[in-house]
Structure 1
């Protein structure tokens, strides 16, 4: 009864005060705001998500296209009118309106900013209690915020570059309870059963709405780390409490509001950067005008400061289930690995003499690894959920029969994504071609990485390239060697060779390239793809084999279609020196010309974090040698 009476007073008395607010009070506040030119203030422009307009009739237009986000009829493109309408709406009586529909409850960040900007005059804005917003902030218990990065996922085009979201950290205790803190996520709103071609085209050219949504962080942690097997890093931001409150308030304002979504530029990283940059003095938006890459945002954050201190307070790593399992398996000695394999192959039979001869510590390591294997196998759909759960329970019984173990202290650690090189690449080199002679090459790759420079936050031994172009200049002439619109190489190595861990690998490429290395005037459009198997022979050598084919423009009698077998190896000599070897055996399906074997060898030596030198040998109708210097930017 008392709580209901308290809520009545909280809601009713501000309403009564509002009903007595005079028109002159509102005018006084508006006049002061105009004197301070608040409608032109950078923070107001950011709060309204105004962007420069090039139509000629207006200077700004909001990126949000939802009338509910504005208080003025022309608020989407008139900052001054929207400011005055917002102040008026804040003073509107509550007589015939639900509390949570009041402007103060819909736009709490605007209210906080106006109160701070207007000084003593802001006392005329009588604030009210907003039940839904109070619930959203966990009764004002959000104490810090973290930017969360999930590593790239090549099975889903929307996640090629990794994904960024915002985690709101409450004052709950550390540990599992933190998984139930709220998170704010930005993404495209995609209709069900959208076909891949439409999906790609609309994502690139702005055919989808995008928006912020909220859910418990547990959902994202499970989806990325447990189901998609992606590593996660949490970057806690070093904001003061008032700054945390301001960002939380603005996140509430933009929830569910539609933007136009663009995969390359105005994506999750772009919109999260906007959210954080409403704090004065923070500038973390990547400068690349074509791509907004999550790793570039993390690098900018990590090297930024606020209040003369680092912007990033701490970095926390959450390895995926796959990473945890591989790490545990790698730490086993040979006899322990053999027992793990036998137990899994016999569906949980723990009765061999070899197992009985193990020490208790070895038995614990074996059973703990098996427990992780069944969880990994279920996530990777290697076995059915029912079988995985039954076998997991069977192993758990065996584990309970063993003593408690001490923490080995052998924690999994990977270099966080902000420590890697920058994401775009430029290369110049000297080239010798047996058929075409000497020349110079120029290569530009806006994004993202190849097999030899896949680093922190990337999929190891894989490649993701978009918009790469290589030019060859000779005797004053400039020629295109290739233009790759999209090139993906996805390698999931058979790191354990346990049942189901088979090392799937696939490649796809769409672009324009020379039909072979013996001519300049033989450019052809080509779409090609391969599927195969990859395995790590040891910690330094990966090998893979593929079957595939492609379709192309018919040049030099090459035909419109071909099939091929190919093999690839990646050799890591040191942390800074590695090499790739490849061979293709093509067989054309139509046309009158033949296709010969193709070979490639490329050696890369890292010079610095953002520079390298490469030697490359290729053979395709003609032999070609090149030495190239590269720089990441």
Structure 2
């Protein structure tokens, strides 16, 4: 209690620490506390009395049911503009529980579970699968206690087939990406994160042709309004084993909710070439 480290914490953080310690001592209390235990409790109560009373932010309301949020299945129809390949129509579907850009009502906050995410682009002379993501799981963990310096690790993992370069439709690769990082919220409606991912990718479906490397990422989520949410994610990929590769991948997405089962997405992606998509999503 008298250490410089403890006294350097803000008053609210010190109050939470002492409250937790008092609750723990109450839980393990024996029928007849010793004299030393009684003295320690008196010291804790005296120090606690000099700190502010904390507000109870626990809501008495029942959590929202998952049926109040976005349904899990999704159909996608959109228009694509590519700086090298020109315009196209895009259709897609997925089976998921929730995505980070979606409406979080009744779902886990700051989490994503998307499976079987399929994108197909239609042009005059071509019909190509541009993405078939088997899974994409993400969990962003904020400060669990509110005590300064306390944190939990955020993590994510995804795998599937995707374009190697947005300027080449038939150039596909299979990739697995995953890693750990830190995430914070400054104003409550935002989330900033920093990740170090490890990736493996191959375009020939063979072990010797697989590239392994690391990919630091920086990104943010921002709920401007309940119906409007923005996401930015940028990463730099660098190989350390296998065929040499070094490239950047940047995404900027927005979601505008029209109804519980309908929203509009605007997506801008840079991966060798610049591509923009305006898509209508129907959920069921």
Query: So what's the TM-score if we normalise by structure 2?
Result: 0.79
Compared CA separation, residues 538 and 595, structure 1 to 2 (3 A):
same
Q: How many residues align structurally?
A: 258
The residue aligned with 1:620 is 271
Structure with bigger strand share is: 2
Picking from 181, 185, 195, the partner of 1:532 is 181
Larger Rg: 1
Distance 1:432 1:472 in 2: 11
Residue 411 (1) aligns with residue 83 (2): no
Structure with bigger helix share is: 1
Q: 1:500: Cα distance to partner?
A: 6.5
The residue aligned with 2:74 is 425
Distance 1:389 1:431 in 2: 62
Unpaired runs of 5+ in structure 1?
Answer: 1-336, 349-369, 376-384
The residue aligned with 1:306 is none
Instruction: Check whether the contact 2:211–2:245 (CA below 8 A) recurs between aligned residues.
Output: no
Compared CA separation, residues 485 and 374, structure 1 to 2 (3 A):
farther
The residue aligned with 2:32 is none
The residue aligned with 2:215 is 564
Compared CA separation, residues 595 and 474, structure 1 to 2 (3 A):
farther
Distance 1:624 1:409 in 2: 44
The CA RMSD measured in Å over matched residues stands at 3.4
Residue 446 (1) aligns with residue 118 (2): no
Larger RCO (alpha carbons 8 Å, 6+ apart): 2
Unpaired runs of 5+ in structure 2?
Answer: 1-8, 30-36
Distance 2:81 2:125 in 1: 16
Q: 1:585: Cα distance to partner?
A: 1.0
The residue aligned with 1:573 is 224
Instruction: Check whether the contact 1:454–1:460 (CA below 8 A) recurs between aligned residues.
Output: no
Q: 1:476: Cα distance to partner?
A: 4.1
Distance 1:532 1:424 in 2: 29
Q: 1:417: Cα distance to partner?
A: 2.3
The residue aligned with 1:398 is 45
Distance 1:394 1:525 in 2: 60
Instruction: Give 3-state SS (helix, strand or coil) of 1:516's partner.
Output: coil
Query: So what's the TM-score if we normalise by structure 1?
Result: 0.37
Deviations 1:9-36 (A, max 9, x none): xxxxxxxxxxxxxxxxxxxxxxxxxxxx
Q: 1:410: Cα distance to partner?
A: 7.0
The residue aligned with 1:341 is 13
Q: Superposition pairs for residues 71-86 of structure 1, below 5 Å? A: none
Distance 1:591 1:454 in 2: 40
The residue aligned with 1:629 is 280
